[in-house]
Amino acid sequence: MMTDSVVEGVPDRYGMNIKDIPCNLYSEINSDAHNSNESRSQTSDNLEGHGAIVAAHYNTIEEKGLEERNKSRIVYLRNFNNWIKSMLIDEYLKEIKDNKKQYNAPLKVLDMCCGKGGDLFKWRSGRISHLICADLAETSVEQCENRYKDLRDRADKEPYRMGPLFTAEFIAADCTKTQLRQKYKDVTIDLDLVSCQFSFHYSFESLAQAECLLRNASECLQPGGYLIGTMPDAYEIVTRLEKSGGLKFGNEVYEITFESRETPFPLFGAKYNFHLEGVVDCPEFLVHFPTLEKLALKYGLELVRNEKFEDYFNSERKLYSGRRLLTKMQALETYPPAEEDTKLIGNEKEDYDHAKDYLEKHKTKQIGTLSKPEWQAATLYLVFAFRKMHKLIGDKGEVTYKPFVPKPKEREDDNDYGEPKRKYARRD
């Protein structure tokens, strides 16, 4: 269990030095983005180059086996992030199923920026019927397709244990620059869910790229469907930057470096370099969330969730399914270790003070936790969800949107032990 003592003094999320979005006109967003792009065009960076850098980075990451990954300094952080994704995907798949009029209706999903297919098992567990995987890194898409084929072969050999597997298609394309619909096998497909995990922020390199990604997310999404995902929390990043007093901050597992501290940060193209131990080392971009929220409305996407990882964890771990999955996925490290010869992943003298304090306060022998450096990395992120609204076309062809109203009921956890019910409400 994590406590507030892990990261001290978290400030007001909205007290950051990030330019506020204009309150009235979308044209002002466009004007600001144009000015930002114009100033950046005079530097060595360019729109084509960053995409190529990101693609090259992920194409060259070596595929590691389970044994090798378990030796990583951030093994529990990676498992924790996977747990967050699993809970988020499960939550919204079940919400969509609840709103379906037909029992056992097909569920069709777009996994934007799918990487090597790390979420394939999550889609299998969610019993979807069809999956579209898209990513700009061709090697990653090939590995994703190979993983799917392995999963399909296992399902064919063990149909009674594995159950039927969803069909899938794979697209190597930049989701921030390419209209994905034209590459679908069925361009008339109606999607129920779009997922974009740990990648949405790359689109905020420019207004055009952000709009392209949102168009891809919304274009085939049915009313009542969801765009869900995870991304860095720009407010948290800028907070830590200001506290550092310099151009970089981090710890032994992650580091963020800015080239300059321009004031205020532009709405698009606010670049920083992110390094995560053995996983990521490439340029990323701040996402000013109020800007994203307004842009999303243009594409009929209404914000229903914006929640820090810390808060999402604290709510989901109260569910029986959340606690069970934490154990199954080994998303937390046991402190102290169950066996004397087991070494902690972090520095015992420095990284587990919060765990020691908890044990002393609650008079218990063991807890599940993350080392302090891993927790500091995890709390850089947030979860988000947008719901597709009904599209209305007026007499003169003008397009407006009407909010989708879900069925007025709460979803209980799969195993009801008298615990709090999970509600679907906007949290920000």
Detail the residues annotated as belonging to a binding site for S-adenosyl-L-methionine.
85, 113, 135, 174, 197, 202
C-alpha to C-alpha distance for 317 and 326, rounded to whole angstroms: 8
Which tokens sit at 27?
């044209």
Positive or negative, the CA dihedral 231, 234, 240, 244 is: positive
- Contact 194/217 with Cβ under 8 angstroms? yes
Q: Which residues are annotated as a binding site?
A: 81-82, 85, 113, 135, 174, 197, 202
- Contact 370/80 with Cβ under 8 angstroms? yes
Q: Which residues of 136-161 are buried (b: 16+ CB within 10 A; e: fewer)?
A: bbebbbebbbebbeebeeebeeeeee
C-alpha to C-alpha distance for 197 and 178, rounded to whole angstroms: 18
Q: Cβ–Cβ contacts within 10 Å for residue 178, how many? A: 17
Name residues whose C-beta falls within 8 Å of residue 179's C-beta, 6 or more positions apart in sequence.
212, 215, 216, 219
Q: Which residues are annotated as a binding site for mRNA?
A: 81-82
**Count of residues for the chain?**
428
- Contact 292/228 with Cβ under 8 angstroms? no
- Contact 382/376 with Cβ under 8 angstroms? no
C-alpha to C-alpha distance for 318 and 176, rounded to whole angstroms: 36
Smallest CA-to-CA distance from 275 within 426, 380, 126, 146 is with 380
- CB hemisphere CA count around 371 (13 angstroms): 22
The two beta strands, 221-232 and 280-285, are: unpaired
